[in-house]
Structure 1
């Protein structure tokens, strides 16, 4: 359990770059569609380069073949788990500070057990109770934001994130279930590439590409600036490659539903990392009393969850 939690917290540190830099790009006038899609275009180049540089070029080729063999599955898993998730996250950054988006994103901790239940997996009732505590913290943070920015801005900043909170664990759970081959409605994908976290991220990234091309065609955004190109590359490296791979390692190391939920819960640390990042890099003011209380509830729920699961 400790290794899973440590990997999850490290993933949260790298994930936080997403919220800080997406907000920075939004404030600089960068279109949210480019902030979202360019990350995955960069990731595609980085993942192929990394696999080739580490002597895993054969696995990269096998991954492409694996995608072709199960292209419907990977397109659905990638479009939902990577595409819908990240498009909504970047859209929200237009209307809310990064740390608020990160805090609202913690509803994925509530969504993850519900997704597990949807796949017929057992979830401890104690875990569900503690996720509600974390959700209460998220509500307080957004209530404080509403007093500062207005209800309309908060809804546009929060509601898309709530949908994204379900999309991400759903896409990842599809991959988890496919590896185990226990669901008749999913293909059983038993291949050495599935044991490599970078290959799994590569497969999900390829699967998300149709959604990105469709969004670009539908919105026709102005061309991105050089600054947006650089910042999306940083997000792709930190969040898309390093953080996602660490998170998938943590999740796929899990041998039980409780350990899976613990891996998901570590992502609460994104709030703290994003808050510090925005204060230092963007000069944003720190939250007020209600915001700090919300953060305390979110982090307290995480710590209680870890304690309960460790004793179990």
Structure 2
């Protein structure tokens, strides 16, 4: 189990690196006036043919279709939660804060995973919330609070809330949808099949969102936004999601190891900060921000090193 956990944690760190491109590109598109609806929906519309070809080439499409036919309502529901609700709220928040702040607030998903564990545990080793995991998560929450405090002088309460509350919703939606789908398929599908299944299940949500955007007279996205969402689809949607799903699948029967893998996503804030400094501004963050980031990373490391 230790070997599996270490490998899963490493995969989680690599996925965090590629996931950070989501926050950077979403912020870039928002700053350039791109619609958050197109930023969200285009990523998953790009991902659908990519993963269809992967699963088809691996000759695993038939097995996936059988799983979809067995529980169509659950696939629709939890795919909409895990992909649709998660990413639409995340891209909406990108218009109201820097990428590193969104990435930092997103780390609430670690605490969300712990809180959801007792409700979702089915045949796992730990039914309750590990006390040490809760303490480490408290460090992460404290770090997030300090980062938010650093932005309080620059943003109104309304703007801070608009950029924070949707991320909190996303932080609970992603582990909820991911874990419910893991329970549903119970290891019968690999990561690529499960992602494609969730893409298909969330497709009605994305079509509805695009129709709302079209009805509002916003028109088509720019070519620049289309290319940037394609980059996000490949880096975050293909590479990062496959790495993360593979990592969580390896330790799906061990709640402590699963919490450690989810904790690796805290490193996204560091990667996003570096990208923010390179692309947007040479201004280095203040002391509160750096201290907050330090606490987030410390909490992540403690999670990962815990037995």
Q: TM-score, normalised by structure 2?
A: 0.92
- Following TM superposition, by how much is the alpha carbon of 1:63 offset from its aligned partner in structure 2, in angstroms? 1.9
Compared CA separation, residues 282 and 306, structure 1 to 2 (3 A):
same
Counterpart Cα distance in 1 of 2:97 and 2:202: 25
* Whole-Å separation in 1 of the counterparts to 2:303 and 2:160: 28
* Structure 2: distance between partners of 1:179 and 1:259: 20
Q: Distance in 1 between matches of 2:170 and 2:195?
A: 18
Question: Aligned pair 1:244/2:241, yes or no?
Answer: yes
Unpaired runs of at least 5, structure 1: 181-189
Moved more, 288-297 or 298-307: 298-307
Alignment of 1:63-102 (within 5 A): 63-102=64-103
Contact 2:259-2:303 within 8 A present in 1 as well: no
Match of 2:224 among 207, 223, 227: 227
Asked whether the equivalents of residues 201 and 241 of structure 1 are also in contact (C-alpha less than 8 Å), the reply is no
**Contact persistence 1:122–1:257 (CA under 8 A):** no
The yes-or-no answer on 1:200 pairing with 2:162 is: no
Secondary structure in 2 matching 1:149: coil
Q: Which residue of 2 aligns with 1:218?
A: 212
1:150 Cα deviation (Å)? 2.2
- Aligned partners of 2:229, 2:66: CA distance in 1, in Å? 28
Structural RMSD (CA): 1.4
Which residue of 2 is the match for residue 21 of structure 1? 25
Q: Does 2:175 correspond to 1:169?
A: yes
Give the SS at the match of 1:30.
Answer: coil
Matches within 5 A, 1:10-159: 10-52=14-56, 55-56=57-58, 58-120=59-121, 121-159=127-165
C-alpha spacing 1:97/1:48, structure 2 compared with 1 (3 Å) = same
Query: How far apart, CA to CA, are the structure 2 residues paired with 1:282 and 1:68?
Result: 46
Residue segments in structure 2 that go unaligned for 5+ positions in a row: 122-126
Question: What is the deviation of 1:123?
Answer: 2.7
